[in-house]
Amino acid sequence: MAQVNVAILGAGRIAQSMAETLVKMAADPRYADLVAPYAVAARDGERAAAFAAQYGFPVSYGSYEELAADSNVNLVYIATPHNLHAEQAILCMRAGKGVLVEKAFGANAVQTRAMLDASRETGMLCAEAIWTRYMPSRTMIDDIIASGVIGEVTAINANLCYPTTAKARITDPALAGGALLDVGVYPINFIDMIMHNAPIARVESSMRAYETGVDAHNSMTFYYENGVMATAQSSILCHSDRMGAVWGTDGYLTCENINNVASIDVHDGNHQIKAHYDVPPQLTGYEYEVAASAQTMLDGRRECEAMPHADTLRIMETHGFATCRLGPDVSIRSLATPPKILSRRCVSKSCDACVLGKMKSTENRHFSSMPACGLLLI
């Protein structure tokens, strides 16, 4: 397999962005020998055919099963609602295709483990399409911090908010809606990339519920064992400045738009900008995750270096904790020694406990024995 034939499963807005990316990659000498736009599938065959015609894909299908059965497909980009990712990714991997799964990777940690298990069983690539993990800005931020120009990192702050309640999939619990799974993944990943999987002592989380029950606005504070504190906020109710900031003992850096960093400014202790860095021009920004996935497949590996399976699972478990709650507008704390009583029904569907539908009081149990949300199973 000298060139990877890429198919898109789904024909919505994000699928259109990926189709545009693949067309541009096919025309770019840096990527033309690596990937080729090949097929699209949607539940509506006419819609899939129109999509293929618009972007010049040679093949279209009116069912996902037909796409999975096509032996010419090598890599499938899954661009459907979160709650469908696991079923479709497993279908494709069992059919011998690698998968690049749009964030959020799944609806919960249970689905995430099922997909990663399928990757291990089939030997097929399974990658999370969280594009900021693959972008050059990630290395740029790491290099600035490693240079020591801002001193020792003591705190991180990141936010991403868009008013998106008009979109049904965002507010529907059955579709794994809510702010955290849609936009909250970016502040959490921004922090996680900087902290490089440093041990977390505890997490505090609070949220405001939407009328449908999904989280509309949330805030998380991570307390790391090395003393760093980091705060992540996301919302589907409002706009925010989308900034990311890393605060140090000698200065700080700010990133314009953590969803797709455009530039980085380094400030000294007097709040003067000492350096400005523009991120390199991009085709669309999605090319980095596609190229990484394709090359990883050609190298015979199952996971991308930029987003290994352990990181995908850990982030999803963090999501589960943040969205698990005893009711609207309630703060839940995750402690090294958990609170003794958490017995009321969780109204979220993002954690293991909620998926299994079994809750009980906690008493004298260690945190490591608890599910992602921090509530115990029966």
pLDDT for 376 beyond 90 = no
pLDDT for 362 beyond 70 = no
Q: Please state the pTM of the whole predicted model.
A: 0.85
Record the tokens describing residue 272, joined without a space: 């003067």
pLDDT tens digits along 89-124: 999 999 999 999 999 899 899 999 999 999 999 999
Average pLDDT value for the chain: 87
Mean pLDDT computed over 144-153: 98
Cα 302 from Cα 297, distance rounded (Å):
7
**How many residues belong to the chain?**
378
Q: What CATH number should be reported for the domain whose range is 136-278? A: 3.30.360.10
pLDDT at 60: 98
At 367, the pLDDT band (50, 70, 90 cuts) reads very low
Q: What CATH number should be reported for the domain whose range is 4-131+285-305? A: 3.40.50.720
At 327, the pLDDT band (50, 70, 90 cuts) reads very low
Q: Confirm if 234 and 133 have CB atoms less than 8 A apart.
A: no
Mean pLDDT computed over 31-60: 98
Mean pLDDT computed over 196-212: 93
pLDDT tens digits along 205-229: 999 999 999 999 999 999 999 999 9
User: In the Cβ-directed half-sphere of 98, how many Cα atoms lie within 13 Å?
Assistant: 26
The four Cα atoms 85, 91, 96, 97 give a dihedral, to 10 degrees, of -30
CA angle 69, 70, 75 (to 5 degrees): 100
| Strand-pair category, 153-161 with 35-41 | unpaired
Question: Where in the chain are the domains?
Answer: 4-131+285-305, 136-278, 324-369
What are residue 219's DSSP bridge partners?
Answer: 206, 233
